[in-house]
Structure 1
Amino acid sequence: MRKDVPVMPKMRPHRMPSLVAAALALAVSAASVLAGGAAAPARAAEDGTSGLPVPRFVSLKADTVNVRNGPNKDHDVSWVFTRAGLPVEVTAEYGTWRRIRDSDGSEGWVYHSMVSLRRTALVAPWLKGETVPLRAGPDAEARVVAQLEPKVLGVVKSCDGKFCRLSGDGFDGYVQQAQLFGVYPNEKVE
Structure 2
Amino acid sequence: MRAFLAVFVLSAILGTTSTAQERGPVTNLPLPRYVSMKAAEGYARHGPGKTHRIDWVYKHRNQPLEVTAEYGHWRRVRDKDGAGGWMHYSLLSGVRTVLVEVDLLPLRRKPTKDAATAANAEFGVVAKLGACHIDWCKITAGGQTGWVPKTALWGVDPDEILE
Per the shorter chain, which TM-score range?
A: 0.7 to 0.9
> How far 1:19 moved relative to its partner?
8.2
Tell me the secondary structure at the aligned position of residue 17 of structure 2: helix
The reply on whether 1:20 has 2:10 as its aligned counterpart is: yes
CA RMSD across the alignment: 2.4
Say whether the 8 Å CA contact 1:21–1:94 is kept in structure 2: no
> How far 1:26 moved relative to its partner?
4.2
Change (3 A) 1:53 1:26: farther
The corresponding residue for 1:56 is 33
Corresponding residue pairs, total: 157
Change (3 A) 1:149 1:24: closer
Counterpart-to-counterpart distance in 2, 1:189 and 1:25? 26
Extract unaligned runs of 5+ from structure 1: 1-16, 39-43
The reply on whether 1:91 has 2:75 as its aligned counterpart is: no
Tell me the secondary structure at the aligned position of residue 188 of structure 1: coil
The reply on whether 1:145 has 2:118 as its aligned counterpart is: yes
Within 5 Å, give how 1:161-176 maps onto structure 2: 161-176=134-149
> How far 1:162 moved relative to its partner?
0.9
The corresponding residue for 1:3 is none
The correspondence for 1:103, drawn from 80, 94, 106, is 80
Extract unaligned runs of 5+ from structure 2: 1-6
The reply on whether 1:82 has 2:55 as its aligned counterpart is: no
Counterpart-to-counterpart distance in 1, 2:13 and 2:72? 13
Say whether the 8 Å CA contact 2:15–2:76 is kept in structure 1: no
Give the TM-score, by structure 1 length.
0.75
